[in-house]
Structures are given as structure tokens and as C-alpha cells.
């Protein structure tokens, strides 16, 4: 009888690409706090196999802060890499 393959649990790493890190330097403290929380949530969800639920893999939006995150997950190293960080354009009404 075979045992089901279980995904390893445990810590994950978060890495910022140089391009994303430049954008982080331009953020307010509030936006940076929201970014950190979102990355922890993404990394934890990816590590446990519960992410992404209903969104495009590799893309996460923080509408309240107007941020679009491009990311990649590397399972062997359990590393979430923030590849890009962009501001959403707000349409004037």
C-alpha cells in the first residue's frame, strides 16, 4: 500500500528582485506593511498548498493600496520571489 505524498510543512523565504526592491523604497510605511502582510500570506499559502485560490498564479492585487504584485514560487527552496511591484492606475470619475 502506498502512502499519499505529503507536502512538507515549515518555513518559507521571501526574496525581493532588484526591480521590486527599488519600488519598495518609494512606498509609504502603510503600503509597505500591507505588502509584507500580503507576501507572508502568499508564502504561507504556497507552502501549505492552499494558494492561489481564485486568482491568476503569479499575480496578486492589493486594491486598497493600488498595488499589483508579480511573484514566483520555487517549491524546492520554498521561496516566494517578488518579481515586480506596480501601482494600479486610478481612473478619475
- Asked, for residue 32, whether it belongs to a domain, the answer is yes
Q: Are 35 and 64 in contact (CB under 8 A)?
A: no
The three three-digit cell numbers of residue 47, written as one number = 507552502
> What's the domain count of the chain?
1
The pTM (predicted TM-score) of the whole model is 0.76
- Sort strands 67-74 and 79-87 into parallel, antiparallel or unpaired: antiparallel
Q: Which CATH number does the domain housing residue 67 bear?
A: 3.30.2310.20
Which of 27, 35, 19, 28 lies closest to 43 in space, CA to CA? 35
8-18 per-position pLDDT tens digit: 456 899 999 99
43-74 per-position pLDDT tens digit: 888 878 776 655 567 889 999 999 999 999 89
- Asked, for residue 4, whether it belongs to a domain, the answer is no
The three three-digit cell numbers of residue 83, written as one number = 518579481
- Asked, for residue 3, whether it belongs to a domain, the answer is no
- Asked, for residue 46, whether it belongs to a domain, the answer is yes
Containing domain of residue 42, as a range?
Answer: 13-85
Q: Are 78 and 89 in contact (CB under 8 A)?
A: no
- Asked, for residue 25, whether it belongs to a domain, the answer is yes
The three three-digit cell numbers of residue 76, written as one number = 524546492
Amino acid at each position: 500500500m502506498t502512502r499519499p505524498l505529503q507536502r512538507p510543512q515549515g518555513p518559507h523565504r521571501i526574496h525581493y528582485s532588484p526591480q521590486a526592491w527599488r519600488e519598495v523604497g518609494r512606498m509609504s510605511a502603510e503600503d509597505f506593511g500591507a505588502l509584507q502582510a500580503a507576501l507572508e500570506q502568499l508564502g504561507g499559502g504556497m507552502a501549505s498548498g492552499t494558494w492561489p485560490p481564485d486568482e491568476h498564479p503569479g499575480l496578486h492585487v492589493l486594491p486598497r493600496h493600488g498595488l499589483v504584485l508579480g511573484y514566483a514560487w520555487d517549491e524546492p527552496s520554498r521561496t516566494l520571489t517578488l518579481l515586480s511591484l506596480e501601482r494600479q492606475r486610478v481612473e478619475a470619475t
